[in-house]
Structure 1
Amino acid sequence: MSNLPANGRPLKFMFAPMSYMLSHICRCVEIGKVLRDRGHQVVFAVEDPERPGWRSNVAVKSGFPWVHVQEQDYGYIFNRLETKGFLFVGLDLLNLGHWTPLDKIFQGYIDAIDKEKPDIICGDASIAASNAAYVRGIPAAGITNSYAGKFVSWPSITYPAIQVWDKLYLERFRRPIYAKYNKKPIDSVRLFKSIPMISPDLDGLYEYPKDWNWKMVGPILSEPPVPMPDWFDELQDGQTNIYFSLGTTGMLDPLLRRVYADFAKLPYRFVVTTGGQATQETIAMAPPNFRIAEYAPGRAVLKHCKAIIFHGGNSTMYQALEAGVPMIALWNQLEQKLTGEMLQRRGMGLCSQARKTSSKWLVDALNEVMSNPKYREASQRFSSTVASATGAATAARILEEVARSGEPAGHTLT
Structure 2
Amino acid sequence: MNIADHRKRILFVAEAVTLAHVTRLAELAGGLDLKRYEIFFACDNSSKYFHPQPTFTHFNIHSISPKLFRKALEKGSPLYNYETLKGYVQEDLRILDKIKPDLVVGDFRLSLAVSAPQRKIPYAAVTNAYWSPYYIERWAPFPEHLLGRILGVTIASALFRLAQPIVFARHARAMNRLRETNGLPPLGDLRHVYTHGDYTLYLDVPSLVPIVNAPSNHYYLGPIVKAPSISLPDWWDEVPADQPCVYVSFGSSGAVEKLLEVIKGLSEIRPPLFLMISTAGRTEINFTSKNIRAASYIRGSDAARLSQLVISNGGTTAGYQALAEGVPVLGIPSNMDQYLAQMAITKAGAGRLLRAGKVNALAVRNASSEILNSTGYYTTARRLAAEFTHYDAIKNFCAFVDKVLTK
Residue 244 (structure 1) aligned to one of 248, 263, 268: 248
Q: Verify the 8 A CA contact 2:330 2:367 in the aligned structure 1.
A: yes
How far the C-alpha of 1:221 sits from its partner, in A, is 2.4
How far the C-alpha of 1:170 sits from its partner, in A, is 4.0
Residue 274 (str. 1) matches residue 274 (str. 2): no
- SS of 1:353's partner is coil
Residue 121 (structure 1) aligned to one of 99, 104, 109: 104
Number of the residue aligned with 1:312: 314
Residue 74 (structure 1) aligned to one of 44, 61, 66: 66
For 1:158 and 1:308, the matched residues in 2 are separated by 31
Change (3 A) 1:194 1:42: closer
Letter in 1 for 2:41: F
For 1:225 and 1:162, the matched residues in 2 are separated by 37
Residue 105 (str. 1) matches residue 88 (str. 2): yes
Residue 19 (structure 1) aligned to one of 16, 24, 30: 16
Alpha-carbon displacement from aligned partner over 1:349-391 (angstroms, at most 9, x marks no partner)? 1102223211110110011111111111111112233245321
Q: Which has the higher contact order (CA 8 A, sep 6+)?
A: 1
For 1:320 and 1:154, the matched residues in 2 are separated by 23
Q: Which consecutive unaligned segments of at least 5 residues does structure 1 have? A: 1-7, 179-183, 406-414
- SS of 1:291's partner is strand
For 1:158 and 1:223, the matched residues in 2 are separated by 35
Q: Which consecutive unaligned segments of at least 5 residues does structure 2 have? A: 140-162
For 1:325 and 1:138, the matched residues in 2 are separated by 41
How far the C-alpha of 1:149 sits from its partner, in A, is 1.2
Residue 89 (str. 1) matches residue 88 (str. 2): no
How far the C-alpha of 1:134 sits from its partner, in A, is 0.7
Number of the residue aligned with 1:391: 393
Q: Verify the 8 A CA contact 1:332 1:355 in the aligned structure 2.
A: yes
Number of the residue aligned with 1:185: 184
How far the C-alpha of 1:20 sits from its partner, in A, is 3.2
For 1:221 and 1:38, the matched residues in 2 are separated by 25
Number of the residue aligned with 1:4: none
Letter in 2 for 1:41: E
- SS of 2:231's partner is coil
Number of the residue aligned with 2:28: 31
Change (3 A) 1:234 1:154: closer
Residue 55 (str. 1) matches residue 68 (str. 2): no
Change (3 A) 1:79 1:285: farther
Residue 299 (str. 1) matches residue 301 (str. 2): yes
How far the C-alpha of 1:227 sits from its partner, in A, is 0.1
The equivalences for 1:221-370 within 5 A come to 221-252=225-256, 254-266=257-269, 267-278=272-283, 280=284, 283-285=285-287, 287-370=289-372
Letter in 1 for 2:261: R
Letter in 1 for 2:97: D
How far the C-alpha of 1:43 sits from its partner, in A, is 0.9
TM-score, normalized by length of structure 1? Answer: 0.81
What is the Cα-based RMSD across aligned positions, in Å? Answer: 2.8
How far the C-alpha of 1:404 sits from its partner, in A, is 4.2
- SS of 1:284's partner is coil
How far the C-alpha of 1:336 sits from its partner, in A, is 1.7
- SS of 2:321's partner is helix
